[in-house]
Amino acid sequence: MRVRVEQTALPGIGVRHDLVTESGRRLGVVSHRNGRRDLVLYDRDDPDACQADIPLTDDEAEALADILGASLMLGQLSGLREQAAGLLTEQIAIPAGSKYVNKRLGDTRARTRTGASIVAVLRDGEVIVSPDPTFRFAAGDVVVVVGTRQGLDGVTAILADSDPDG
């Protein structure tokens, strides 16, 4: 199902983006010219009446976007897992003692060694989708890996390998 987003110019205020959910609820975001954003929930019985108006700071708007983006991406990966027998998705944290902290993704040779793919990295509430081989890991990063059970276990072992000099 395609979701239609309507954009409405609000002269002197900014712009409003609205959508109607599958359950019939209408919600929107008003982006003011001064940078302020409001999350708006419309009345179920009167689509022109506002039931709730929630002002969002820049940090709150960014956090909400990150939450929605990460959960959507992980949900899509879970759906993929259901479609492909034997294909699993897992989130693996990179421990502070890993020898791959501050090293490039390509240095792990994870896909070559295990057959599993690192498809995203979650860092400080941000989702980095399809990191390239030059992407550098940080302690506490959480990698999203797709592969077989054996491949996922292999990536876990690779990333847990500690640096004797660290």
Per residue in 128-159, pLDDT (tens digit) is 999 999 999 999 899 999 888 899 999 999 99
Contacts 24+ apart (CB under 8 A), 153-156: 154/110, 154/113, 154/114, 154/115, 154/116, 155/92, 155/108, 155/110, 155/114, 155/116, 155/118, 156/90, 156/92
For the full predicted model, state whether its pTM sits above 0.75: no
Instruction: Give the pLDDT band (50/70/90) at residue 75.
Output: low
Query: For residue 100, what pLDDT is reported?
Result: 94
Q: How many helices (H) and strands (E) does the chain have?
A: 4, 9
Specify the pLDDT at position 166: 44
Q: Which residue has the higher pLDDT, 81 or 134?
A: 134
% of the chain residues with pLDDT over 90: 37
Judge whether residue 103 has pLDDT over 70: yes
Indicate the CATH number of 88-160 among 3.50.50.60, 3.30.70.1450, 3.20.20.120, 3.20.20.10.
3.30.70.1450
In 10 A of CB 83, how many CB atoms? 7
Residue that wins the pLDDT comparison between 87 and 25? 25
Average pLDDT, the chain: 84
pLDDT value at 163 more than 60: no
Express each pLDDT in 43-62 by its tens digit.
888 878 889 999 998 888 87
Give the whole-number percent of the chain exceeding pLDDT 70: 85
Band of pLDDT at residue 15, cut at 50, 70 and 90: confident
Burial-class residue 33 by CB neighbours within 10 Å (0-12, 13-18, 19+). exposed
Domain range summary for the chain, segments of one domain joined by +: 5-84, 88-160
Provide the pLDDT for residue 121. 93
